[in-house]
């Protein structure tokens, strides 16, 4: 699941940053072409945070961070006004 989440996030990142034919083709693996904008909602943002929390937890377990508090967006993702 973690690798799929990272591929999903990377596809969206490349679409958002580059929006070229290659980025659109990679994103088509996850959403039907032409519907990209429809997916960019608050629910999608919540899904990104949730999936990345799961990925961070998985990655932390793989590299031996089990003795530390779990990696979580509440600890890692700070808003611009929290810095």
Q: How many domains does the chain have?
A: 1
Q: What region does 28 belong to: left with phi over 0, alpha with psi -120 to 50, or beta? A: alpha
How do residues 2-43 score in pLDDT, each as one tens digit? 788 888 988 998 898 888 999 999 999 999 999 999 999 999
Q: Is the pLDDT of residue 70 over 80?
A: no
**Domain extent at residue 51:** 3-82
The answer to whether the pTM exceeds 0.85 is no
- For residue 17, what are its two tokens? 């940053």
Mean pLDDT calculated for residue range 40-51: 86
**Contact 49/34 with Cβ under 8 angstroms?**
no
């Amino acid at each position: 699941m973690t690798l799929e989440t990272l591929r999903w996030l990377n596809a969206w990142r490349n679409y958002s940053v580059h929006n070229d034919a290659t980025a659109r083709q990679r994103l088509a693996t996850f959403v039907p072409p032409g519907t990209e904008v429809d997916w960019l909602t608050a629910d999608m943002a919540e899904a990104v945070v949730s999936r990345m929390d799961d990925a961070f937890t998985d990655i932390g377990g793989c590299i031996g961070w089990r003795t530390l508090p779990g990696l979580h967006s509440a600890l890692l993702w700070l808003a611009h006004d929290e810095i």
